[in-house]
Structure 1
Amino acid sequence: MTPLIFAFKLLIAVPVALVLALTAIWYIWESGNTVLYDSFAQKMFSGLENYGLLAIPLFMLTGEMMNEGGMTRRLINAARVFVGGFRGGLAYINLLANMFMAAIIGSATAQIAVMARAMPPEMEKEGYDKGFAAATTAAGGLLAPVIPPSMMFVIYGVLAQIPIADMFLAGILPGLLLAASFAAVIFVVGLSADFPKGDWFDKKEAFSALFQCLPAALIPFAIIGGILFGIATPTESAAIASLIAFLIGWLVYREMKPSAIFEMFKRTAMNASMIIFMIAAANVFGWVIIYEALPQKLAVLITSITSNPFLFLLIVNVILLFIGMLIDGIAAVILISPILLPIAMNNYDISPYQFGVVMCLNLVLGLLTPPVGVGLYITSSASGVTPGRILKSLWPFLLAVACVLVLLSRFPAISTALL
């Protein structure tokens, strides 16, 4: 009965956090073990007693301060220096700017919302197809959950009980591979679409663009450099990055007003609280998973089909693709990790880092695929391009992601080489 209640609540669009909490309450009542009600609130709170979770609101705050402080525009301008003169240069600029943003914001939806306002109108002015311009921007948002720092990696690291810093390291090579695959798509599409040729900056313009970008470049260096060199934990790096973003926006670029801080704190608190509540609810939902022995039952079913780790990951990829189409990526990570991760580690000896990278990248695809497709509709709203037209130009990028997922599933070293 409990699985039916769970599925029904999801189908009628009850918020996922409430689905998790209410399913746990229903299960306790159905099982008759009502003494568990006494520790329900304590169990929810204990799910939040993890230092790493502080990184989530801090990364969100960094992104807010970057947008308010004018750093996004300067990062896009700096990208022109490196790729602006190629044929289809503005499409490559879009991709490179998304890489810069992914190394700062860590949230696909936030990144898409920022870039969809900035890039498609510029690309359209230079003669690019509106659908392709919007599709390139939306696809670039998929870099955020893979290139560190990633909010999904933070949540997965907490659930899997593995170091978040190591999870960030595991995402570097896959993130670069994904970016390279997107660049290949732009190149191939450009052969038939005859993209306009861009103009290189002269030396003075290039120097000015890079010089203006230098302060903003301190932010990804503070985040990734601090973690790589062991100077700071991911949470400490996020706190340092938010402070740097504030000081640069206020004192260097002079575009951020201290009076705007309260509104930024408010937006950050509201957005982060939804994620935190889901994690707390997932902790009590763990009762259902434990008492129903879902991982063990599912392991028996899957191991009866195959004993090959690669085939197992391919099966998981198909399952996750459908889940990601229906449920928000972060919610899906919270739901799926406790069920599938034990099977991957115990029955197939798959590294939790490899599994985490594959799962997070796969689930975020749901941002760009109907029927939910939040990222698709954000791009459409910000760019003024219909979702159907975006999808028409988006499929080569989605095919590239599928190829990268197969490579990540087949070759664990791509995720574990830097550990």
Structure 2
Amino acid sequence: MNRTPEIFALNNFTEFRIQMLNWSNRFNVFCLLDNQHYNFSAPAFECLLAVGSKKNITLQSGNAFEKLKHFYKENNGWLFGHLGYDLKNETEKLSSANFDGIGFDDMHFFVPDVVLKLTEKEVYIFCDDDAKEIFDAIQSESLSIPVNKQSDLDIKNRISKTAYIDTIQKLKQHILRGDCYEINFCQEFFAEDAVIDPLYVYHKLIQLSPNPFAALYKLDDKFCICASPERYLKKEGNKIFSQPIKGTSKRDLVNKENDLQNKNYLSANEKEKSENVMVVDLVRNDLSKVCKEGTVKVDELFGVYSFPQVHQMISTISGQVKDNIDWIDIVKATFPMGSMTGAPKKRVMELIEHYEQTKRGLFSGAIGYINPDGDFDFNVVIRSIFYNASTRYLSFKAGGGITFYSDAEKEYEECLLKAEAMRKVLE
């Protein structure tokens, strides 16, 4: 693929974005990364879209990272794809035996036929074919958002409220015994015999809950419809940084005074701050494995950011990577992300496997890209709807960090709060 893009002026960003998504749906594989007009750390684009697959690699945990290295050396350019949570089985010598209704592989990356990078005023097209032809084909697409074709969905909880609260009590006993300090525990909501139009659901989800690390990812018959607010890891030159989220409170868009109180609650609440600090320490430890000594630092601690559904506490940790280190080794040393596991990592992942009822799969994994310069950016796959069009199985998960001071009822309510946008979109 040509490393130098052709650039075309955009008359209407919003219209072109709809046309671009409608055009992308003709491909078996595509990956849209969508910034949703947030200005966290001066984004290089508003949308990045990869369509078609010249070459790809699909892997299960075992020797996946090493095989990805060989694949990348042979295809040193744009690469898009995902890292599934169960790569933990390779990084920490663990195993997974829980039910998985969706079926994403542990790892998949593809070399795209076409990459489109959108800013507000321009589109950059990277391809080997005629870029003008592609631009014209997109502009000839419909301006309509797909209509809702979904069946009535019967969304069920995988575990009951009583079972959830009982599990939290058991996890707190593990913390009391010193097995762990904090554990991220999640539950699944699911529907069987579900018929949805993923493009329609994506448009609806980001309308209700626009977030800076949104993504729409299609891999043949499997879809991830993602409205994530969280970055896992970004590399820019010799710098990497991670932005874990720990701490959530509800928005009140009707009463501004209440909304401000909810926001200030995060900054003042010792439990929320202690959770955040634990994850920051874990991320600092992970980054120190691949960064030059003395360069890992906390750029922002306890930053509170407001999103349409919730306020979130976000910290930023950065470091300078060691010379001549492979980007894949950076990912391997830090994956899965600490905000979705807890501490210490290996033990809590054993407990997660024991107490959660289903495999996480792509949930709490990452979707992202590597550019021709070897820089990358990956999100944390949360606030996401997963859909297998062949089996008609639909799933979304939500959870939170459990500490000894966690109130099980409140944790359950926080779970429902995080799942609210997904449930609203589907119902």
Pair member with larger Rg: 1
More strand by share: 2
Q: TM-score, normalised by structure 2?
A: 0.23
Q: TM-score, normalised by structure 1?
A: 0.24
For CA contacts below 8 A with separation 6 or more, give which structure has more relative contact order. Answer: 1
More helix by share: 1
